[in-house]
A and B are shown apart, each in its own frame.
Chain A
């Protein structure tokens, strides 16, 4: 059962860059060891928090896109919880929403094609019929 999740977490702003990279690589190994894949890692940089979290006013946001099972996400959440510099995290399942968006996009593209089709369709039909008669 492969699902796509987004894990967003905030680390404290005074965390050194190397430590953050190390943390991400350990998460990466955890993902691959339990049969998932890390699809994307995005460091969104330092941002001001909307409210204070553990007395911090800003934090470094990191976004991971992970494909795997629910158990994998559970494990990642456990790891984030015990990692001291991580001040907040959230995991969101995105594959169903993505499926919905793809569906809407497909419908819209189909509609566009229908509107452009009348111009393109007649020559195509003519091309098909002539070989059949010949």
Chain B
């Protein structure tokens, strides 16, 4: 019973909603809290920056090894510096492991202390 009663009302509502949609743009104005102040607010943010995510969390890389030069080199700047978290988006626990792995790799001449690897 309940299902039967629900179905007609839903179908009855649907056309009404679609009608409402077509009428919406002009009817937006009188709504409480909407209207005039809504327009200017839209122009607030000009740049949309994509949220950075931790590569290691996303790809589920847990093994940050000092031998994996290719992986580590992505987080080393050209000057040889470790790229900060705020630029790469790596989360704190992973950055900690990453930086220690890079430091080991530097000790065994897999990565440079300074300057380009040559």
Q: How large, as a class, is the contact surface on chain A? A: 10 to 19
The answer for the CA separation of A47 and B117 in the assembled complex, in Å, is 12
For B78-118 the 0/1 string (1 means CB < 8 A from A) is 00000000000000000000000000101111111101011
* Known contacts A88-B108, A88-B109; is-contact A50 B66 (Cβ 8 Å): no
The answer for the CA separation of A49 and B118 in the assembled complex, in Å, is 7
B66 touches A92 (CB 8 A): yes
Q: Does A53 contact B (CB under 8 A)?
A: yes
The answer for the CA separation of A92 and B64 in the assembled complex, in Å, is 14
- Which chain B positions have C-beta within 8 A of A114? none
Q: How far is the CB of A82 from the nearest CB of chain B, in Å?
A: 19
The answer for the CA separation of A8 and B113 in the assembled complex, in Å, is 18
Q: How far is the CB of A45 from the nearest CB of chain B, in Å?
A: 13
The 9 closest A-B pairs by CB, nearest first: A50-B112, A49-B109, A50-B117, A90-B108, A50-B109, A104-B62, A50-B111, A90-B107, A51-B112
A contacts with B: majority SS: strand
Q: How large, as a class, is the contact surface on chain B? A: 10 to 19
Q: How far is the CB of B106 from the nearest CB of chain A, in Å?
A: 7
Q: Does B63 contact A (CB under 8 A)?
A: yes
B contacts with A: majority SS: loop
Q: Does A24 contact B (CB under 8 A)?
A: no
- Which chain B positions have C-beta within 8 A of A73? none
Interface residues of A (CB under 8 A from B): 8, 10, 47-51, 53, 57, 59, 63, 88-90, 92, 100-101, 104, 108
- Which chain B positions have C-beta within 8 A of A100? 62
Q: How far is the CB of B96 from the nearest CB of chain A, in Å?
A: 13
A50 touches B106 (CB 8 A): yes
Q: 9 A-B Cβ contacts within 8 A?
A: A10-B108, A49-B109, A50-B113, A51-B109, A51-B112, A59-B109, A88-B109, A92-B104, A101-B62
